[in-house]
Structure 1
Amino acid sequence: MIHGQVLPFPAQPSRFERRLDWFAESRRVLIGIWAVYIGLRLLVLLIPVVPTSDAEWYYLRAISLAEGHGYLDNAGAPTAFWPPGWPIALSLVFRKFGASLLVLGLFNLASAALIGQLTLALGRRLFRDEAAARAGFLLLAIYPNAIAYVPLALTEVFYTALLMAGCWAVLARKQTAQLVGAGLIFGFATLVKAQTLVVLPLLFAIEWLRARPVWARLPRLLGQGLLTLFIAFMVVLPWSARNHAQLGHWVLVSTNGGYTLLTGNHDTATGDYTPDAPVVKDLMARTDLDEVARDAEARRLGMDWIKVNPAKFMALLPKKAIRLWAPDGEGEWAYQGGDPNYARFETLYRAVRYANQGYYLVLMLGFASAFVAMTVRRIKGRQRWIDWWLLPYGVTLFPTAICLVFSGQSRFHWPVMPFVCMATGWLVIDLLGRIGRPKAQAVTIH
């Protein structure tokens, strides 16, 4: 018998570890998070905010479609200005339940509930940790700017539900036929935001590179990706055909692409969305151009400016990125213009806006730190670096690339925030686990 031998002896789980286990396993915890998530979003529906600006356009288009008048501009002429997916979806709800702000809010609430469920499902899938998934869900539940959008007639809540559902359909598929559903979802999402299809190559690229044999798997995944893109294109095609029939030109989705390009690229551009710039206002005031020609002229003006001013364009890139990612809480603007009681509660609104900005910065700091922490962990564990945990970071490239070409608007990062919460939730649980984990005790055998 060997005397005096020191052997490591696993310590009993600490009280803190048991609490983390309770957080991950308790049904009551999950119900509680759901109660907070839905309760706060129901509460904000009590605010009588009427649609203004972009929201008013979408809301009126939805009413026009619900009444059978078609997708018309304010003068009653057929239009393809701005993508039609959100008004089309909202019009179907209005046709069934009537057009009202209450119906709008409840439809957004249903979309928000889907976002919550997908935040949990994707969090479990990406990070393989129930506690991390729940933590990400909780972070999203109390995020003020996410709550603020629920009563608004803007695209963000509905679009984010579609984007996340499309990602889940690709990740969770068990057979190729299920990609038809993913294609349908991404196709309709493209009708809401025309640039959506760039997400599909990202999804299949991650799946391709996450496991060996890389090259042997490429033909199958390439075929699946092309199938999904084809289905999505077939969803968009009827709308494109409608545009050709009613406008006399082929317009894939909408006629605001050139307009948006010009608002971010002209002599007085600052990196922000500037629709009041003289060059933009002058173009929009021209009566010798129809809608399609005006959009084409705006695209030409924007592209010509970039070609003539490459240095100025490059100088705008960091300003656009900062404008996209630095501020948050822009949902308050809708209340400022649409809530008749805003003046009475302006101090409260601003306090929530400032608190939201601080909370947002913490989320983004956690998001960046999670990238570093996961990278270090996978390198130390000799795991393949590319895996589904990279999806939240890949999704951030989607609005970033768009804003660098067009203009920076903080509203465009709204659909990314559930993914940010997932990654930050994983980091929180990982740090808490490290802090609360007791060290192994050394036991001497005599």
Structure 2
Amino acid sequence: MNAKVIHFPTRPTRLSLRLDWFATDRSVLLGIWALYFALRAAVLLIDVVPSSDAEWYYLRAASLAAGHGYLDNAGQPTAFWPAGWPIALSLVFSRFGTSLVALGLFNLAGSMLIGLATLVLGRRLFGSEGAARAGLLLLAVYPNAIGYVPLALTEVFYTALLMAGCWVVVTRTNRYQLVSAGLLFGLATLVKAQTLVVVPLLFAIDWLRMGDRWRRLPGLLAEGLIVVALAALTVLPWTIRNHTQLGHWVPVSTNGGYTLLTGNHDDATGDYTPDTPVVKELMARPGLDEVERDAEARRLGLAWMTAHPDRFLELVPRKLMRLWLPDGEAEWAYQAGAPGYERFALVYRAVRVVNQGFYVLLMLAFAAAFFVMIARRRRDGQKWMGWWLLPYGIALYPTLVCVVFSGQSRFHYPVMPWICMTAGWLAMTVLGRMSERRIPRRALH
């Protein structure tokens, strides 16, 4: 006698229901956004006077807003440091007045755009609303990202431009959209001259992720060249201005050679070290104008690298460690420019310690996600290459730059939203796997 067995559906686990709620409920997304905004608005209540690099950018923006032009501290035309951020900030100052309040609100708007880009790119790259929300949540509570909002540094504005440019390329449906990508990458190049390194990385991933690679290659090369050409056209007016006012062709700025030398000389440690004898001697050398000094710094740096290849290679691991191991450098700006720092020094330091621990967890998740994604895609019969590789391409960009120049933890700031979205995907994947534990099903014989 045969008995027919009827299986009833498995009851969802509590964790599975919570993950579904997290990924689908509108109130969850609104709550994440509220937290994201509130933390960044709250940090604007801290009074931070611009110092070091931030002071230079702030004063240049004030000069431009007042109609005096892009001048150095002596009142002479300059191209020292890329001018994109001061130019953008000067437009805000000319409309709302030169103040730290205007600066903070502009950065707050930029940070909201970064959050939006993190969410929409997380959806696109990983195909998961839950992963995108988790990435946004991780970025929302990331202390170092919050700490930059009141500062007159390039990081927030630059990251927004970089992510927007990547979004246009990733989601494009026709070549006309590449005009927007070229403009965005051009503006980003005016903020950080090495930005165009990202464009070939971006199109290389696009090339690898689909079939018919050799048939698609000419078209992708053409699209990449369109973006680079339009970016160059965006930068061109500034280049012409430099030639007109300085008498030399300076594509973006006159600090490239100086930055190269600070990372490559006898006393170099792998970190950005501008106060060494070779650098001080060059800066004090008479008879050189700004452009000539930068060219001489470049010559000295390249000559040292050629003469000391073993020492240069020895510095590479140190540069990478300076770039990727520490985090929380926003605290330095508060230490230098916040009047109440000494009174709350223990609080600042505690936040720095918590931030470092949080950062380590993010980086471990970022590394683990690479292998988990490959295993998952192979298990599902998918090609292992896809847009999910873009965060790793973005991480490769400052890595390549620091190998040649120097390592600073500040340089990895634009990568952190990408790391957060990848860590968010891993967290949801692991939790989703845990939620699949099966409860014994009831059976009726």
Aligned to 2:406: 407
Q: Is 1:50 aligned to 2:25, yes or no?
A: no
Distance 1:4 1:326, change over 3 A: farther
Aligned to 2:113: 114
Q: What is the distance in 2 between the residues matched to 1:335 and 1:250?
A: 37
Aligned to 1:153: 152
Q: What is the distance in 2 between the residues matched to 1:413 and 1:325?
A: 7
Q: What is the distance in 2 between the residues matched to 1:259 and 1:5?
A: 81
Q: Is 1:75 aligned to 2:45, yes or no?
A: no
Is the Cα–Cα contact under 8 Å of residues 36 and 141 in structure 1 kept in the other structure? yes
Q: What is the distance in 2 between the residues matched to 1:395 and 1:260?
A: 21
- After TM superposition, give the deviation of residue 7 of structure 1 in Å: 8.2
Aligned to 2:415: 416
- After TM superposition, give the deviation of residue 438 of structure 1 in Å: 3.3
Q: Which ranges of structure 2 fall in alignment gaps of 5 or more residues?
A: none
Q: What is the distance in 1 between the residues matched to 2:429 and 2:6?
A: 27
- After TM superposition, give the deviation of residue 10 of structure 1 in Å: 4.5
- After TM superposition, give the deviation of residue 385 of structure 1 in Å: 1.2
RMSD (Å), alpha carbons: 1.4
Partner AA of 2:370 in structure 1:
F
Is the Cα–Cα contact under 8 Å of residues 66 and 92 in structure 1 kept in the other structure? yes
Q: What is the distance in 1 between the residues matched to 2:435 and 2:377?
A: 22
331-340 or 372-381, larger mean C-alpha shift? 372-381
Aligned to 2:258: 259
Partner AA of 1:411 in structure 2:
R
Is the Cα–Cα contact under 8 Å of residues 10 and 441 in structure 2 kept in the other structure? no
Aligned to 2:212: 213
Distance 1:10 1:215, change over 3 A: farther
Alignment of 1:324-339 (within 5 A): 324-339=323-338
Q: What do the CA deviations read for 1:360-384 (whole angstroms, capped 9, x no partner)?
A: 0001011111111001111222211
Is the Cα–Cα contact under 8 Å of residues 4 and 445 in structure 1 kept in the other structure? no
Q: What is the distance in 2 between the residues matched to 1:5 and 1:65?
A: 83
Q: Which ranges of structure 1 fall in alignment gaps of 5 or more residues?
A: none
- After TM superposition, give the deviation of residue 216 of structure 1 in Å: 1.2
Aligned to 1:88: 87
Aligned to 2:135: 136
Alignment of 1:387-406 (within 5 A): 387-406=386-405
Aligned to 2:180: 181
10-19 or 245-254, larger mean C-alpha shift? 10-19
TM-score with structure 1 setting the length: 0.98
434-443 or 234-243, larger mean C-alpha shift? 434-443
Q: What do the CA deviations read for 1:172-224 (whole angstroms, capped 9, x no partner)?
A: 11111011001000000000000101111111111111111111111211111
Is the Cα–Cα contact under 8 Å of residues 10 and 440 in structure 1 kept in the other structure? no
Is the Cα–Cα contact under 8 Å of residues 8 and 440 in structure 1 kept in the other structure? no
Q: What is the distance in 2 between the residues matched to 1:128 and 1:51?
A: 41
TM-score with structure 2 setting the length: 0.98
Q: What is the distance in 2 between the residues matched to 1:378 and 1:294?
A: 52
Q: Is 1:282 aligned to 2:281, yes or no?
A: yes
Is the Cα–Cα contact under 8 Å of residues 8 and 443 in structure 2 kept in the other structure? no
- After TM superposition, give the deviation of residue 16 of structure 1 in Å: 1.4
Q: What is the distance in 2 between the residues matched to 1:105 and 1:442?
A: 57
Q: Is 1:24 aligned to 2:23, yes or no?
A: yes
Aligned to 1:192: 191
Q: What is the distance in 1 between the residues matched to 2:444 and 2:303?
A: 81
Partner AA of 2:320 in structure 1:
A
Q: Is 1:358 aligned to 2:357, yes or no?
A: yes
239-248 or 413-422, larger mean C-alpha shift? 239-248
Partner AA of 2:166 in structure 1:
C
Q: What is the distance in 2 between the residues matched to 1:242 and 1:190?
A: 16
Q: What is the distance in 1 between the residues matched to 2:41 and 2:326?
A: 25
Q: Is 1:39 aligned to 2:38, yes or no?
A: yes
Count of aligned pairs:
445
Q: What is the distance in 1 between the residues matched to 2:85 and 2:335?
A: 23
Q: What is the distance in 2 between the residues matched to 1:160 and 1:416?
A: 8
Q: What is the distance in 2 between the residues matched to 1:338 and 1:129?
A: 41
Aligned to 2:201: 202
Aligned to 1:348: 347
Aligned to 1:271: 270
Partner AA of 1:368 in structure 2:
A
Partner AA of 1:15 in structure 2:
R
Is the Cα–Cα contact under 8 Å of residues 10 and 441 in structure 1 kept in the other structure? no
Q: What is the distance in 2 between the residues matched to 1:47 and 1:445?
A: 66
Q: What is the distance in 2 between the residues matched to 1:242 and 1:305?
A: 32
Q: What is the distance in 2 between the residues matched to 1:6 and 1:287?
A: 94
Q: What is the distance in 1 between the residues matched to 2:56 and 2:317?
A: 31
Q: What is the distance in 1 between the residues matched to 2:190 and 2:267?
A: 31
Is the Cα–Cα contact under 8 Å of residues 64 and 72 in structure 1 kept in the other structure? yes
- After TM superposition, give the deviation of residue 442 of structure 1 in Å: 6.3
- After TM superposition, give the deviation of residue 102 of structure 1 in Å: 0.3
- After TM superposition, give the deviation of residue 398 of structure 1 in Å: 0.6
Distance 1:404 1:9, change over 3 A: farther
Secondary structure class of the residue paired with 1:395: helix
Partner AA of 1:185 in structure 2:
L
- After TM superposition, give the deviation of residue 4 of structure 1 in Å: 5.5
Q: What is the distance in 2 between the residues matched to 1:69 and 1:290?
A: 21
Partner AA of 1:354 in structure 2:
V
Q: What do the CA deviations read for 1:273-326 (whole angstroms, capped 9, x no partner)?
A: 000010001101112100000000000100111111110000000000000000
Q: What is the distance in 2 between the residues matched to 1:258 and 1:8?
A: 72
Q: What is the distance in 1 between the residues matched to 2:443 and 2:24?
A: 36
Is the Cα–Cα contact under 8 Å of residues 7 and 444 in structure 2 kept in the other structure? no
Partner AA of 1:221 in structure 2:
L
Is the Cα–Cα contact under 8 Å of residues 13 and 438 in structure 1 kept in the other structure? no
- After TM superposition, give the deviation of residue 445 of structure 1 in Å: 7.3
Aligned to 2:225: 226
Q: What do the CA deviations read for 1:217-270 (whole angstroms, capped 9, x no partner)?
A: 112111111111111110011111111111111111000000000001110111
Secondary structure class of the residue paired with 1:345: helix
4-13 or 147-156, larger mean C-alpha shift? 4-13
Alignment of 1:56-71 (within 5 A): 56-71=55-70
Is the Cα–Cα contact under 8 Å of residues 7 and 444 in structure 1 kept in the other structure? yes
